[in-house]
Structure 1
Amino acid sequence: MINVVDFFCGCGGTSAGLRNVGMNIVAGIDIDTDAGKTYAANFPDATFVQRDIRGFEPSELEKMLDGMQGKFLFAACAPCQPFTKQVTQKKDGDIRRELLDHFHKFVEQLHPDYVLLENVPGLQKIAQTEGPLGRFLDLLRTHGYSFDVKVVSSLDYGVPQVRRRLVLIASRLGPISVPAATHGVISERPHATVWDWIGDLPSIRAGEEDYAVPNHRAAKLSELNQTRIRNTPVNGGRRDWPSDLNLRCHEGHSGHTDVYGRMSKDRPAAALSTRCISLSNGRYGHPTQDRAISVREAARLQTFPDSFQFSGSMNSMAKQIGNAVPVKLAEAMGTAVFAHLSQMTTDRSNG
């Protein structure tokens, strides 16, 4: 048995993936109220701790884990916005930049058998030796962990989305590696497409909801934006519009070509953001219907099953989904951890 504590758990993408491979989800820790409601509803056997990690102590967690048998995995996906390339102005006073440092005390004092870290690639580039990641790697070395850290594409692990992430996997039991890709050119399985994951969902219009599928609800569109999406071909965008539909802010501006764009059926989606159900915030237009993707379609593109239901307003649900670790990516990491534990157990038995 591997018991999981999911720090900065959000709605539970990491927990869902690790549960899928047979791990025991013990607790999720996050400060967000709506994400907590979603997490608690989908992991009824786990404890959701709504706390700011800066005021949550290892001794409190130790009491929760007291008496549990098996190995322990601590997962952490600290808020990534301060390190993403979409944030053009990095604020030195942003407390989110230091949240990974507050995870240190749990590793240092409780010594989990495994650690799984996921974040944006930018975490690796910001002050590599003295920044948050460099400090965390020093901690792992000091406490005898073997680890591997790589920037991977979620697409290579079955996620229908071009989403590059930094993944760190660490173990106190012996050398460990980030698993090889399961999809793509080096695998027998092709990359997944948008239509592979959302093509069977019922058709709805902007502002409508189909109650037969949980959270299959699309945002409303103004009359002007309905005209814009009708004038947007598959995989097209604002450059395909008649001139009278253009926005003033885009005049003479060659960037931001994905905004108001449609997805392509036979390609993966672009990386989903916290505004992934908004037509004006990225290539989030449905491939064939004149609307932005629904909450459920966004969730599917993050590889959440339909049984996983979200709480809160539409904007809150989009934020939870956009912030989540793709379920299939977490599942691949969990599979690698189980394989590692099995190998270590075999090696020790033979030794």
Structure 2
Amino acid sequence: MSKIAVFDFFCGCGGTSAGFRSAGLDIAFALDVDKDAANTYRHNFPDTYFHEGDIRDLKKDKLEEQLTRFSNHLTLFCACAPCQPYSKQRTEKKFKDERLGLLELFIPLIKKYQPDFVFIENVPGLHKGRDGLDPLGKLTKVLKKYGYKMDSGVVAAQDYGAPQLRRRFVLLASRHGQINIPAATHGIDSDNPFKTVRDAIDDLPAIAAGETYKGISLKNHRAAALSELNLKRIKASSPDGGGRYEWHKSLWPACYTRTNDKGDVHSGHTDCYGRLWWDKPAPGLTTRCISYSNGRFGHPEQNRAISVREAARLQGFSDDFEFNGTLNSMAKQIGNAVPVDLALAMGRQFIQHIEGINGKV
């Protein structure tokens, strides 16, 4: 029982699974309701049983088939439910979102199957609850009842080698003694500096806005088209971090020329229409991470937004990980994914934990 079989609920396109697989874990089962993410996942994890559908419709025999198939493994259940309902970006106080309760639907599986390990990843706001729901509190209560030891907190993906600034809430739980969040591996006070945009994408071939790289050895290196106005805007932005504050006001979007009662100009989101810096980590990727107007997603020097492949690299996906769907769908899959480098670090921590159980460390 020295191997771990991963059961990845709300898997999306496979960021958690990719990191865990790289750490040496076996990916036994995955579930997601999004069709394009499902196609991407199946393509990249052909040996994993995939359930495309709602967790509420999951037939227990399908899950139990995989538990039996991997009966010589320890089991790890992970749930990285859609994070938007708990994000600080969501400001509509009366907005009701059925995704708020998804993590609670994971709890009965913990009770019934009592996996050896549990992993949760989400936005930092998860631990605060929302709209009267506290799924994390309910989950931790169940974990304690069934004898799990756990550690949880907010971590930064860049501290584990991701070339982007992204704070996430993680929880690790074990039925085999105390397990802790791993120590950071990268940073200012570390032997390993933060990875940068240059580290991640500098070697990729140049392409124009709206162009797809034709080489067969590199998939998904495709950039969104730009309007004539946005092309003027990015050309007016200096390389390596330039943005809209450099433009002549004739190029400003109307929303940034509004003034309030005091005559102050609306500042808007400061990163919108910005270029990435070469020698810094990228800002956190969103579901619109290939859109020039929706964040600091302009290429550091080429006159376009970053491509799907560049976004994938910033999220930690290897070049052999191929995405399916429309351009917008691929961006959504990447933006929603768990950073692969973060998942890799957590997967290695579970491996080290097993070695401690077996007396190897």
TM-score category, normalised to shorter length: over 0.9
Q: Which residue of 2 aligns with 1:226?
A: 231
Q: Which amino acid aligns with 1:317?
A: M
Structure 1 position 299 matched with structure 2 position 312: yes
Secondary structure of 1:28's partner? Answer: strand
Q: Which residue of 1 aligns with 2:25?
A: 23
Structure 1 range deviating more: 59-68 or 295-304: 59-68
Equivalent in 230, 241, 246 of residue 235 of structure 1: 241
Q: Which residue of 1 aligns with 2:134?
A: 131
Q: Which amino acid aligns with 1:80?
A: C
Distance 2:317 2:69 in 1: 32
Secondary structure of 2:359's partner? Answer: helix
TM-score (norm 1): 0.96
Distance 2:317 2:65 in 1: 31
CA positional deviation for 1:86: 1.0
CA positional deviation for 1:132: 1.3
Q: Which residue of 2 aligns with 1:76?
A: 79
The total of aligned residue pairs comes to 348
CA positional deviation for 1:343: 0.3
Distance 2:54 2:133 in 1: 24
- In 1, are the aligned partners of 2:80 and 2:121 still within 8 Å (CA)? yes
Q: Which residue of 2 aligns with 1:204?
A: 207
Distance 1:326 1:300 in 2: 10
Distance 1:24 1:145 in 2: 22
Q: How does 1:1-351 map to 2 (within 5 A)?
A: 1-68=3-70, 69-91=72-94, 93-126=96-129, 131-212=134-215, 213-233=218-238, 234-251=240-257, 252-346=265-359
Q: Which amino acid aligns with 2:256?
A: H
Q: Which amino acid aligns with 1:279?
A: Y
Secondary structure of 1:270's partner? Answer: coil
CA positional deviation for 1:220: 0.2
Distance 1:159 1:271 in 2: 10
TM-score (norm 2): 0.93
Distance 1:47 1:104 in 2: 21
CA positional deviation for 1:240: 1.4
- In 1, are the aligned partners of 2:100 and 2:130 still within 8 Å (CA)? no
Post-superposition CA distance 1:160-197 (Å, at most 9, x none)? 10000001000000001000001013421000000100
- In 2, are the aligned partners of 1:8 and 1:30 still within 8 Å (CA)? yes
CA positional deviation for 1:130: 6.0
CA positional deviation for 1:76: 0.9
CA positional deviation for 1:128: 12
Distance 2:201 2:130 in 1: 40
Distance 1:164 1:108 in 2: 29
Secondary structure of 1:86's partner? Answer: coil
Q: Which amino acid aligns with 2:207?
A: I
- In 1, are the aligned partners of 2:155 and 2:170 still within 8 Å (CA)? yes
Distance 1:23 1:346 in 2: 19
Secondary structure of 1:87's partner? Answer: coil
CA positional deviation for 1:55: 2.2
Post-superposition CA distance 1:133-175 (Å, at most 9, x none)? 1111111111110000010000000001000000100000000
CA positional deviation for 1:90: 4.3
CA positional deviation for 1:263: 0.3
Post-superposition CA distance 1:60-86 (Å, at most 9, x none)? 412332142110111110010000111
CA positional deviation for 1:344: 1.1
Distance 1:92 1:143, change over 3 A: farther
Structure 1 unpaired stretches of 5+: none
Q: Which amino acid aligns with 2:308?
A: V
Distance 2:69 2:32 in 1: 24
CA positional deviation for 1:250: 1.0
Distance 1:67 1:246, change over 3 A: closer
Q: Which amino acid aligns with 1:85?
A: K
Percent of pairs identical after alignment? 53
- In 1, are the aligned partners of 2:51 and 2:58 still within 8 Å (CA)? no
Distance 1:166 1:256 in 2: 24
Distance 1:205 1:305 in 2: 22
CA positional deviation for 1:288: 0.6
How big is the alpha-carbon RMSD for the aligned residues of Structure 1 and Structure 2? 1.6
Distance 1:313 1:207 in 2: 13
CA positional deviation for 1:110: 0.5
- In 1, are the aligned partners of 2:161 and 2:194 still within 8 Å (CA)? yes
- In 1, are the aligned partners of 2:276 and 2:299 still within 8 Å (CA)? yes
Secondary structure of 2:358's partner? Answer: helix
Distance 1:128 1:168 in 2: 22
Q: Which amino acid aligns with 1:35?
A: A
Secondary structure of 1:162's partner? Answer: coil
